[in-house]
Amino acid sequence: MSRTRFLALLLTSIPFVAVCFTVPLWDRVYPLVFGLPFNLAWLIGWIPLSSLCMAGVYQLRKRSEQSRASSSSKGAPQ
The residues, ordered by sequence, that sit 6+ positions from 8 with a Cβ below 8 Å of its Cβ are: 57, 60, 61
Q: Does pLDDT of 1 surpass 90? A: no
- pLDDT tens, 13-60? 999 999 889 888 877 767 888 888 888 888 999 999 999 999 999 999
Residue 67 lies in a domain: no
Residue 10 lies in a domain: yes
Contacts of 5-11 with C-beta under 8 Å, sequence gap 24+, read 7/60, 8/57, 8/60, 8/61, 11/53, 11/54, 11/56, 11/57, 11/60
Residue 68 lies in a domain: no
Q: Does pLDDT of 78 surpass 70? A: no
Residue 73 lies in a domain: no
Residue 64 lies in a domain: no
pLDDT band, residue 65 (cuts 50/70/90): confident
Residue 74 lies in a domain: no
Residue 20 lies in a domain: yes
Domain limits for position 11: 1-53
Residue 62 lies in a domain: no
User: What pLDDT is stored for residue 15 in this prediction?
Assistant: 93
Determine the Cα–Cα distance for residues 2 and 52; give it in Å rounded to an integer: 22
User: What pLDDT is stored for residue 13 in this prediction?
Assistant: 94
The number of distinct structural domains making up the chain is 1
